[in-house]
Structure 1
Amino acid sequence: MTPELLDELWPILPSQISEGSQELAIYEQLLLNTEGSDATVGDLSRTASLKLVLETARASSSRPDPMAVRWHLFSSQTFGDDDLDRQRVRWEAYHCHDFMQIAAAALLEWALVLMGEQDTGLTLAEIRGKVWERLGSGVGADEEWSTYQRSIDPRTFDYQEAWSRLTGRRGTPEEKAWDAISAVAALFERVAQDEDLGEVMRRELPGAGNARSILTEMNWFVDNAGEPVRDLITAYVVDRIILRHSWVAMQKLRRQKDYTFLFEVRDGRLLRRNGYVPVATTPRLNPAIQFLVDVGLVDDEGLTERARELLGEAA
């Protein structure tokens, strides 16, 4: 690849498509006006997602980034369009699932910090004891999980602030553990109160076989909902997070020769190797947003005039 060759390829960039050209009209037809018997489920899903990105740009009056799109779809109730509303719920389910993984990762990091407090590491029994003891200072630690979950209103819970604390630098791992616990309770109660969201999760996030999803974890909590919060979370940290990490890391080592263990086991004791920072997954929203910018439908002010014309008065 040379600079000269890159210059020759410049005209094929989406941003170089001429306004009013047949090529642009074809893109708009394929991506935003997918109809008829030839349209596949994937076509309809892609079209709905692109329109939801445009709705986010309209609402924010700016060029949204992927997280802005996700939070807008997570917090919105309806767009007045059945196709968009169905796709919005799918994005909400995805975000809930990702949020659950962020919370679990924060609990894993806390466990790793506990391991690192001793040069010789900790046994699983010692980890159980430390987690249980330190959770005891939290409000609601001795309530039944079902009572604790119902005490959190999923409509008023500040999900974005919780996400920010879990993924940010401020706060200790121990403080973030309670942020994770309250976020998990809010997410589970949100799903419990929303039949449409629950149905989408059962259909698309079943967690079959060895796979895990927010649905498998929620079912585990339901099965143990009568346990006190700190008993339940202690069991969850050890049985569903630490042992799960060890199993997944072993599969990666066997199949990919990739060493991803965050702790080592020596004489029955777990020794911390590395820390772990919760990171959100990255669905292919950024390329979609960039494409909408390149074809002149989104700019720094949100929707362009052409996008409004293309989508009609609803835009």
Structure 2
Amino acid sequence: MADTATLVLPEWTELASKSGLDPLGMQNSGILLYQALLPGISNVTLRVRYYGLYSWLSWIYAQRVGDTNLKSWQRFVRRAEALYALVAYQRGGETGVAGVQWAQTKLTNKNEEVIAFADDAEPGSPTHYLVQAWGAYGAAYASQLFDAGVYSQAKGHDLPVPSREIGEGLACAFDQELGPLAALLFEVIERGSVTRSELDTLKPITPSGIRIDSAERQLYQDMLFAHGELQRPPDIERRHTLLLILRLAEQLNRTPTSNDVRWALYAGADKSDNALTFEAGELEAQRQRWAIYQLNDLTHVCLEALLKYALDTLGEYPAGLTLARLIGIAVDGLLGTQESATENWAALLKATALPANAWSSAETMNESALSERVMQVARAVTLCKASDAWAALQLLAIVHQRARLARDGVSAAFGSLDQSAFRSLYTEMRFLDQHEQLSFRDFVGQLIEERVIRRHMWIALRKFRFQGDYTFLFETDEGVVRVRAKDGPVFTNPRLSPAITFLDDIKLFSGAGLSALGRALTGTA
């Protein structure tokens, strides 16, 4: 039976062999929250000047080409992106530019003065600069250009047009900033070839070429911080998040990392125990929403670590185990790490002190320290031992207490989601609350069986049924379960890294934290 089942079931796809598969179906709830907290930016929109480039491309295309055929627009965009990659590679030192690996090959393998790129920009070309049919525009930027209000829908055709509120001004500012280079840029895109000397001439168009005193730079700032005509609720959410990043940079006296922002907003303090000084109001409320996002992330990391523990425990038995036997062995291992018995989950909560600072480098049992230990087992080749699983339970106990203190915020963030489809901090709190008086052995057994193993099997079945992806980590055969593959805990990636890069692109940071422009935005100039 096992061999037959293996033959008829789909093999793992390339996607399914990677980590980050959301094996418990809990990451989507966090993704929905961070998308609301930082709209108009995504994890693959890597440089803010692309927003100006695309607004200019649609503007100049309407003026000089005017063909509403989507294929014509697609070809124009792809040629522009390929050229942008060539210019960026020629300049050197640019990051976040799509197609630079192709550009490197193109420019280093041939010594010709004229570089032809039209064929490489054709969709489906074997020498493509990017495999995606619509390039970086379709894969990354188009949706965010609409979300940020740079693009709007036109009447009578399907091509995007620069919006009246933001896009038109940004396109004109980009054009004015380029000056005579704008005509050359359009000419080279249309021509589909470029000389090396023209690549040098076009260097000012690259992402790091935004001038500090330019109207273009100011318009990016107005877009990001909703200081122009568009001040919709999502725009205000983005403004508040970006202001939090700037205020943190001011306190740290350096440009923060994504991890800095995540943990500081959660803890309300920096690693040196200096409290964040946000006055009560909109910024503090936004900080608390980011803290709830982090609570949700920590929750699924704990449960994903328990999944890894169950998989590694089962891996010691190549012939497989019944599910009941697996649960029993896993629970025995966990309880065996403790010198004295724990009565129930409620008793563990009572015995677990809340750390004063969740991010303090001086503490060894706070959320930051415990999550670092839990994440050490993320790789498939690293065994999750019973002591590691116990650390996940300790972390979950702290998270549960924090969530109780923020119950209204948790409910506001996740309570309206379809609870049958979206598992979140909200649903897991209910489980923990409802089962806190069970004997600890029964509690841990139910947690691993219901919230981890059976939940994973249900999620994997839905992915197989609706997406065709075979992501089961367990395989079953006549009542016996065996390991098929392994996956470990994964934090979601909440768009903070590109947001920080955007702020750096528009000159809001300096070596000591904030630049004069950044201080002016935060009101501390």
State the TM-score, normalized to the length of structure 1.
0.91
Structure 1 residue 200 corresponds to structure 2 residue 404: no
1:160 paired residue number: 368
1:25 paired residue number: 218
Question: Is the contact made by 2:211 and 2:217 (CA closer than 8 Å) also made in structure 1?
Answer: yes
2:263 paired residue number: 71
2:389 paired residue number: 177
Q: 1:103 aligns with which of 290, 298, 302?
A: 302
The change in CA–CA distance for 1:33 and 1:107 in structure 2 (over 3 A counts) is same
**SS in structure 2 of the partner of residue 143 of structure 1:** coil
**SS in structure 2 of the partner of residue 155 of structure 1:** coil
2:434 paired residue number: 223
The change in CA–CA distance for 1:250 and 1:127 in structure 2 (over 3 A counts) is same
Question: Is the contact made by 2:226 and 2:235 (CA closer than 8 Å) also made in structure 1?
Answer: no
The change in CA–CA distance for 1:95 and 1:141 in structure 2 (over 3 A counts) is farther
2:512 paired residue number: 301
Mapped to 1, the partners of 2:414 and 2:237 lie a distance apart of 17
Q: What displacement does 1:309 show?
A: 2.4
Structure 1 residue 145 corresponds to structure 2 residue 323: no
Mapped to 2, the partners of 1:264 and 1:29 lie a distance apart of 53
Q: What displacement does 1:212 show?
A: 0.4
Q: Which amino acid is 2:369 matched to?
A: E
Mapped to 2, the partners of 1:35 and 1:228 lie a distance apart of 58
Q: What displacement does 1:4 show?
A: 7.1
What RMSD in Å do the two structures reach over aligned CA positions?
2.2
Q: Which amino acid is 2:402 matched to?
A: R
Question: Is the contact made by 1:53 and 1:289 (CA closer than 8 Å) also made in structure 2?
Answer: yes
Question: Is the contact made by 2:312 and 2:383 (CA closer than 8 Å) also made in structure 1?
Answer: no
Q: What displacement does 1:175 show?
A: 1.4
1:251 paired residue number: 462
Mapped to 1, the partners of 2:324 and 2:83 lie a distance apart of 61
Structure 1 residue 49 corresponds to structure 2 residue 258: no
**SS in structure 1 of the partner of residue 324 of structure 2:** helix
Q: What displacement does 1:54 show?
A: 1.0
**SS in structure 1 of the partner of residue 433 of structure 2:** helix
Q: Which amino acid is 2:407 matched to?
A: G
Q: 1:273-284 counterparts in 2 under 5 A?
A: 273-284=484-495
Q: Which amino acid is 1:44 matched to?
A: I
1:288 paired residue number: 499
Question: Is the contact made by 1:141 and 1:228 (CA closer than 8 Å) also made in structure 2?
Answer: no
Mapped to 2, the partners of 1:34 and 1:134 lie a distance apart of 57
The answer to which structure, 1 or 2, has the higher relative contact order (CA under 8 A, 6+ apart) is 1
**SS in structure 2 of the partner of residue 101 of structure 1:** helix
Mapped to 1, the partners of 2:203 and 2:316 lie a distance apart of 55
Mapped to 2, the partners of 1:219 and 1:34 lie a distance apart of 41
Q: What displacement does 1:298 show?
A: 1.9
Percent of aligned pairs with the same amino acid: 32
Mapped to 2, the partners of 1:229 and 1:131 lie a distance apart of 13
Mapped to 2, the partners of 1:33 and 1:3 lie a distance apart of 31
Question: Is the contact made by 1:74 and 1:92 (CA closer than 8 Å) also made in structure 2?
Answer: yes
**SS in structure 2 of the partner of residue 264 of structure 1:** strand
**SS in structure 1 of the partner of residue 470 of structure 2:** coil
Q: Which has the larger radius of gyration?
A: 2
Q: Which amino acid is 1:215 matched to?
A: Y
Q: Which amino acid is 2:490 matched to?
A: V
Q: Aligned pairs, how many?
A: 310
2:282 paired residue number: 83
**SS in structure 2 of the partner of residue 235 of structure 1:** helix
Mapped to 2, the partners of 1:63 and 1:113 lie a distance apart of 39
Give CA deviations for 1:213-253 in whole Å, capped at 9, x if unaligned.
01101111111110123321111101111011111111111
Mapped to 1, the partners of 2:383 and 2:289 lie a distance apart of 32
Q: What displacement does 1:172 show?
A: 4.0
**SS in structure 2 of the partner of residue 121 of structure 1:** coil
Mapped to 1, the partners of 2:427 and 2:341 lie a distance apart of 23
**SS in structure 1 of the partner of residue 254 of structure 2:** coil
Q: 1:3-42 counterparts in 2 under 5 A?
A: 6-7=86-87, 11-32=204-225, 34=227, 39-42=231-234
Q: Which amino acid is 1:307 matched to?
A: G
Q: Which amino acid is 2:487 matched to?
A: Y
Mapped to 1, the partners of 2:207 and 2:234 lie a distance apart of 22
Q: Which amino acid is 1:177 matched to?
A: A
Range 158-167 or range 79-88, more displaced = 79-88
Question: Is the contact made by 1:102 and 1:279 (CA closer than 8 Å) also made in structure 2?
Answer: yes
State the TM-score, normalized to the length of structure 2.
0.56
Q: What displacement does 1:34 show?
A: 3.9
**SS in structure 2 of the partner of residue 62 of structure 1:** coil
Range 63-72 or range 199-208, more displaced = 199-208
2:329 paired residue number: 130
Mapped to 2, the partners of 1:33 and 1:247 lie a distance apart of 42
The change in CA–CA distance for 1:202 and 1:171 in structure 2 (over 3 A counts) is same
The structure with more helix, counted as a fraction of residues: 1
Structure 1 residue 114 corresponds to structure 2 residue 325: no
Mapped to 1, the partners of 2:203 and 2:501 lie a distance apart of 16
The change in CA–CA distance for 1:145 and 1:23 in structure 2 (over 3 A counts) is same
Question: Is the contact made by 1:99 and 1:163 (CA closer than 8 Å) also made in structure 2?
Answer: yes
Question: Is the contact made by 1:150 and 1:189 (CA closer than 8 Å) also made in structure 2?
Answer: no
